[in-house]
């Protein structure tokens, strides 16, 4: 007697193949040193053990992301508040995010803004469009109100890019990665742990005072996905892993469906014949 697998029809065999292929599409995660991770699968929950869930403000929505869904910001007032512990007290750290910017004039796209009662840019990551204070696009970070940035850059709108900022307090550097590659490294000796107050950690808008001081030209316009915060400096290989472009899941699914339908057609023809 044939075993169960061999006895299965070509259709069910292909369904099995399809399911196994689709399961491979899991988004990358690095658990070592993970403080918080936001996948934005229709919510702003932290999928990590700390449960530093975000809270949406002013109409955040969710759309197609790099891996599953992404958080969509309207460029007007949409913001997500994070528990300050997601960054407070960090010395070495890595902040990484996928962004997809909508076309707009010379504006700033603030990604994350961390403040305390005396310093509004205690930590900030932003991508400024050309003409906003600089003739070129600028990918930057503020650490302890000190601005570090890189402007030999131009990212296309309506396309996904992976951005990473690391601070290494031993080497006294802040490093900028785009799409998994180290693009720029700047010396910065401030090694104090980040001091982020209770209401001082936000995605999508720049604070000019603790939990406020919003400005309409400093509101992220577009989508963010798969934000990860680590309490250590990830290696280049780890950042490359996080930034890997996923296989197009739809092609896998439709490829399987196509193969399944062809197999079903063959099976029917055999039965008739």
> Closer CB to Ca ion, residue 64 or residue 171?
64
The residue within the footprint of Ca ion, chosen from 209, 215, 217, 235 (CB under 5 A), is 215
Residue 68 lies near Ca ion (rule: CB under 5 A) = yes
How open is the CA angle 84-31-168, to the nearest 5 degrees? 65
> Quick one: which segment of 74-82, 126-134, 160-168, 172-180 binds Ca ion (CB under 5 A)?
74-82
For the bound state, the minimum distance from the C-beta of residue 218 to Ca ion, rounded and expressed in Å, comes to 5
Binding of Ca ion by 216 (CB under 5 A)? no
Residue 54 is a binding residue for Ca ion (CB under 5 A): no
Q: What are phi and psi of 18, to 5 degrees?
A: -65, -45
Rounded Cα gap, residues 88 and 76, in angstroms: 27
Closest CA to 76 of 203, 199, 201, 204: 204
Q: Confirm or reject binding of residue 208 to Ca ion (CB under 5 A).
A: yes
67 or 230: CB nearest Ca ion: 67
* Subset of 22-41 contacting Ca ion (CB under 5 A): 39-40
Comparison of 13 and 57: residue with beta carbon closer to Ca ion: 57
The reply to whether 12 sits near Ca ion by the rule CB under 5 A is no
- 102 lies in the site for Ca ion, by CB under 5 A: no
| Binding residue for Ca ion, selected from 58, 145, 151, 173, defined by CB under 5 A | 58
Residue 207 and residue 214 in contact, taking contact as beta carbons nearer than 8 Å: yes
Interface with Ca ion by CB under 5 A: which residues? 39-40, 58-59, 65, 67-68, 74, 77-78, 120-121, 206, 208, 215, 218, 225
């Amino acid at each position: 007697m044939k075993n169960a697998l061999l006895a299965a029809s070509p259709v069910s065999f292909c369904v099995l193949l399809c399911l196994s292929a689709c399961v491979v599409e899991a988004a990358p995660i690095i658990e070592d040193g993970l403080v918080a991770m936001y996948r934005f699968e229709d919510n702003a929950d932290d999928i990590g053990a700390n449960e530093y869930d975000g809270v949406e403000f002013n109409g955040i929505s969710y759309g197609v992301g790099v891996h599953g869904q992404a958080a969509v910001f309207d460029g007007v007032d949409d913001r997500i508040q994070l528990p300050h512990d997601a960054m407070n007290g960090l010395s070495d750290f890595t902040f990484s995010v996928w962004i997809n910017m909508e076309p707009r004039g010379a504006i700033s796209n603030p990604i994350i803004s961390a403040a305390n009662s005396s310093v509004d840019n205690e930590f900030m990551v932003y991508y400024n469009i050309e003409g906003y204070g600089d003739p070129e696009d600028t990918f930057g970070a503020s650490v302890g109100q000190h601005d570090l940035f890189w402007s030999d850059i131009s990212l296309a709108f309506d396309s996904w890019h992976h951005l990473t900022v690391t601070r290494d307090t031993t080497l006294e550097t802040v490093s900028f990665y785009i799409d998994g590659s180290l693009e720029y490294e700047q010396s910065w000796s401030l090694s104090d742990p980040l001091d982020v107050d209770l209401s001082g950690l936000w995605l999508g808008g720049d604070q000019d005072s603790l939990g406020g001081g919003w400005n309409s030209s400093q509101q992220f316009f577009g989508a963010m996905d798969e934000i990860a915060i680590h309490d250590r400096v990830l290696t280049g290989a780890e950042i490359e892993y996080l930034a890997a472009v996923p296989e197009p899941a739809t092609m896998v699914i439709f490829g399987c469906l196509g193969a399944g339908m062809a197999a079903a057609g063959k099976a029917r023809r055999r039965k008739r014949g």
